Copies of this chain bind each other. A is one copy, B any other.
Amino acid sequence: MEKLKKYVSVKNEDHFYHQGAVELLIFNFLLILTILTIWLFKNHRFRFLHETGGAMLYGLVMGLIIRYVTKSPDVESGTVYECEKLESGPSTLLINITNQVYEYQYKREISHHNVNDHQGNAMLQKMTFDPSIFFNILLPPIIFHAGYSLKKRHFFRNLGSILTYAFLGTAISCIVIGLIMYGFVKAMVHIGQLKQWEFHFTDCLFFGSLMSATDPVTVLAIFHELNVDTDLYTLLFGESVLNDAVAIVLTHSISIYSPKENPNAFDAAAFFQSVGNFLGIFAGSFAMGSSYAVVTALISFMHLTKFTKLCEFPMLETGLFFLLSWSAFLSAEAAGLTGIVAVLFCGVTQAHYTYNNLSPDSKMRTKQLFEFMNFLAENVIFCYMGLALFTFQNHIFNPLFIFGALVAVFVARASNIYPLSFLLNLGRKQKIPRNFQHMMMFSGLRGAIAFALAIRDTDSQPQQMMFSTALLMVFFTVWVFGGGTTPMLTWLQIRVGVDPDEDLKAKAASQSASNLDKNTTKAESAWLFRIWYGFDHKYLKPLLTHTGPPLTSTLPEWCNPVARLLTSPSAYGDQLKDGDTVYIINNDELTENCDLSAHIPVPAQDSTDSIQATGKEDIQEGDLGLGGYKLQLQHTAGQPQKNSLA
């Protein structure tokens, strides 16, 4: 008997393994279908449905099949058992059933109202994966890649505007959505669809903050394919990347905002605590991400006499790069900060410093690795969103709430983009034109981050309603707006098919106009830029990379012994002495050249890389815009251009 029992248990467990394989196989199958569809679309130049929309569609169909075709054999799952002896839920529960002990793992708390929905089948439950997989495994590569492939020069030229849209814009959007939703919730309470105590103003703000995270994937992929105007591209990319970070921290701050007494009343102390929280978490995450990148840069830079450089072992280098970047995310999460923000700035910093120290082989390896992981993670998330519509078992679709969300999202986007653009245009000499503003308004798609934030906690009824609504908003915006991007570009008469070569000639012809632009954008970010650039170029670059002037010339004289130790031997080749300061002042003509260099045609092989192919030449320059170009000049000329600069 004992024997028999053992084998039965082995077989059962085998069955469990196969189940794990089946679920992964379903995802693989969906991804393969998506890839084949993308291939088909690329052939026929379809643009009315983007690949992410396709992935969602396949997920949807698969969810439908799983829901209605697979049986529900596990009837007992819906029953609630009493256990008087327990006082709280332990993480592991051992239960004696007919003389056999079974181990159960704590999963979550369930509200009483959800218990009835719980008679679902095991397949559905298995297809619903743990939100922590989302946060710890699928999101980091996407966000890191966004940071790593950031077009730094363009980004920093538009830094002021981007920061305004990201911080102020997200705050506006969050508050506007919160207010409108609060109105709708009041109305729902009035007509009896909702009980008064269920939905507070903080819940509305929570919904507002999660719906404020816009998704760059779909629109920017189309922009990239169509070679849309670079400034519009940069504004949108920068906004949506930073805006995700802001929305995540905001959501976190709101979720821990707990006023002492009446949850609907305003509590100044709690509010300022939340604001403080927001700032602290943001700054902490930024510091965490950057410091990991700096450590990576230092390791890859090590040139102590005893050691071969790490870059002679591309596999180790790639591995270390990958692991340290992921650790930035995980450490931030473990420390109670926001991993997404950390990994974003880690990516930016890695591209700025570490990338310069890598061997050519590793440069390509890391680039391709992150690209590939980004591609896979993105498609998995969109497939999963499609699946979730049918496999998630506690959806609450409330038509009034959904309609309210639709209105709120539009109004919020409008009151974010138009007033801020107006304000920014007061300061900018190179205005953001009307059609750009309309396009930015139209490009407010919701995607992975909104979904991930909503799925993080779906226990209470308001949370379930918010999740279901957020999911529908993602579907709606990705399919309708994603599909409408190409017609909208035509309709708004935005320059598409900007041939880099022609653009280069055009810019060269309109020299004066271009010069005006440069001065404008420089002025816009100059105060921030100059300080940072000087510090970075003088101290950080030489310390962390093989480029830049040697530290012996930038540090005070008494630091010389240390400086000599820390400077890369190759840096002396670039020695410029006091050229830096001169350079920062006289950089107008260089900026011009530099801007031209940004339009060097992208190698053909990159044509399929969704967002970031044009980021490539940026990274290869490996410097903050201007500085990078200067160093390039030196490299090609073979000699430091002391005379021309001094």
Q: Given B9, B102, B106, B331, which contacts A25 in the complex, CB threshold below 8 Å?
A: B331
Q: Are A74's CB and B101's CB within 8 A?
A: no
A7-64 at interface with B (beta carbon < 8 Å) = 7, 9-11, 13, 16-18, 20-22, 24-25, 28-29, 31-32, 35-36, 38-39, 42-43
Q: Knowing that A25-B331, A32-B320 are A-B contacts, what are 5 other residue pairs whose CB atoms are under 8 Å apart, sorted by A's residue number?
A: A21-B339, A76-B86, A77-B91, A83-B95, A368-B368
A231 on interface, CB distance cutoff 8 Å: no
- Oligomer: number of copies: 2
- B interface footprint on A326-346 (CB within 8 Å = 1, 0 otherwise): 110111011010010000000
Contacts of A333 in B (CB 8 A): 17-18, 21
Chain B residues near A291: list those with CB within 8 A.
Answer: none
Question: A residues touching B (Cβ–Cβ < 8 Å)?
Answer: 2-4, 6-7, 9-11, 13, 16-18, 20-22, 24-25, 28-29, 31-32, 35-36, 38-39, 42-43, 74, 76-83, 85-98, 100-112, 115, 118, 122, 125, 131-132, 135-136, 197, 200, 255-256, 258, 263, 299, 306-308, 310, 312-316, 318-320, 322-324, 326-327, 329-331, 333-334, 336, 339, 361, 365, 368-369, 371-372, 375-376, 456-457, 459-460, 605, 608-609
Contacts of A609 in B (CB 8 A): 315
Task: Report whether A369 and B369 are in contact in the complex, using a CB–CB cutoff of 8 Å.
Answer: yes
Determine the distance from Cα of A108 to Cα of B132 in the docked complex, in whole angstroms: 22
Contact in complex: B316, A608 (CB < 8 Å) = yes
Instruction: Verify B118–A92 contact, CB threshold 8 A.
Output: yes
- Docked Cα-Cα span, A591 to B268, in Å, equals 85
On chain B, the residues within 8 Å of A608 by CB distance are 312-316
A258 to B306 CA separation, bound complex (whole angstroms) = 61
Establish whether residues A74 and B94, one from each chain, have CB atoms under 8 Å apart when the complex forms. Answer: no
A329–B115 Cα distance when bound, in Å, is 37
Q: Is the CB of A28 within 8 A of B327?
A: yes
Contact B324 A32 (CB under 8 A): yes
Closest to A87 in B: B98
Q: Give bound CA distance, A531 to B132, whole Å.
A: 53
Which residues of the other chain, B, contact A82 by a CB distance below 8 angstroms? 95-96
Question: Given A42-B308, A316-B38, is A323 in contact with B6 using a C-beta cutoff of 8 Å?
Answer: no
Residue contact A136 to B104, C-beta cutoff 8 Å: no
Residues of B within 8 A of A2 (CB): 197
- CB of A25 within 8 A of CB of B80, answer no
Q: Is the CB of B334 within 8 A of A22?
A: yes
Identify the 7 closest CB pairs spanning chains A and B, nearest first.
Answer: A104-B104, A21-B333, A89-B102, A76-B90, A25-B330, A313-B608, A20-B132
Complex interface: chain B residues within 8 A of A299 (CB): 36
- Which residue on chain B has the smallest CB distance to residue A360? B605
The reply to whether A200 and B3 form a contact with Cβ atoms under 8 Å apart is yes
Q: Name the one of B28, B81, B307 contacting A85, with C-beta atoms under 8 angstroms.
A: B81
Closest B residue to A15 by CB, please name it: B336
| Chain B minimum-CB-distance residue to A42 | B313
- Bound-state CA distance A258–B7 (Å) is 8
Most chain B CB within a 10 A radius of its CB, from A76, A82, A456 = A76
Q: For residue A197, which residue of chain B has the nearest CB?
A: B2
B313 close to A39 (CB less than 8 A): yes
Q: Provide the bound-state CA to CA distance between A371 and B316, in Å.
A: 11
Within the complex, the shortest CB–CB distance from A322 to chain B, in Å, comes to 8
